[in-house]
Amino acid sequence: MKDYEKAAADLAAMIDAAGLGCLAIAGGEGSSWGDGDPLTFRAWVSLLADNQHGIRVPYVCGSSVPMADEAEPFPGAKTANTVAAHEWREKVRRRYVPSTFDVVSALLSDVAAFGDQPDWLAAAEEFGVEMDAANLRKFRDGFERTRTEVASFLRRAFGDRFDEAVRLAGEL
């Protein structure tokens, strides 16, 4: 077993032990389903024992992510430039729902990435955010929310294993 596979298995076990769950609408919200288009979800992450208290978070994935575990209906369907292949990939994307593991590991990675940054502007510069007003506002809001609400929620969920969860997410 490779290191990242062990990290993924350990993190999945920690997510289960924490009792976290995730709800999202299939295919995302306002997403395009074409090749190269990102899928955007507004996921609800909560403790399954208390589904009333959780956080609504954005989750975005590339158009190829839903294809990872799909069996091809014919050879080359994942990459072919035919009408049948495009239609199949669109159907797969329309029904795709991110797993709790996908969303929570992404949130932990965001917390880790922002944890060492002194402020949102330094992070924006380091991550190469386009420096126009709309992108900067969006990044600032996401940065602040991740460092406050998201990190706080995940700390409560993982308890004294929070730092280990962040470390494991960084190994993926």
Interval 11-55: pLDDT, tens: 999 999 999 999 999 998 877 888 888 999 999 999 888 777 899
| pLDDT exceeds cutoff 80 at 1 | no
Do residues 100 and 20 lie in contact, with contact meaning Cβ atoms separated by under 8 Å? yes
Q: Is residue 66 very low, low, confident or very high in pLDDT (cuts 50, 70, 90)?
A: very high
Distance CA 79, CA 148 (A): 40
What is the model's pTM? 0.87
- Please check whether residue 77 is in contact with residue 88, taking contact to mean a CB–CB distance below 8 angstroms: yes
Contact 107, 154 (CB under 8 A): yes
Q: What is the pLDDT of residue 12?
A: 96
Q: Is 154 exposed, middle or buried (0-12, 13-18, 19+ CB in 10 A)?
A: buried
Residue 158 banded pLDDT, cuts 50, 70, 90: very high
The predicted pLDDT at position 133 comes to 86
> Given this model, what pLDDT does residue 26 score?
92
Tens digit of pLDDT for each residue in 115-140?
888 888 888 888 887 778 888 888 88
Distance CA 171, CA 45 (A): 22
pLDDT computed for residue 126 by the predictor: 85
d(CA 49, CA 140): 32
Q: For 56-65, 89-98, 136-145, which range has the lowest pLDDT when averaged over its residues?
A: 136-145
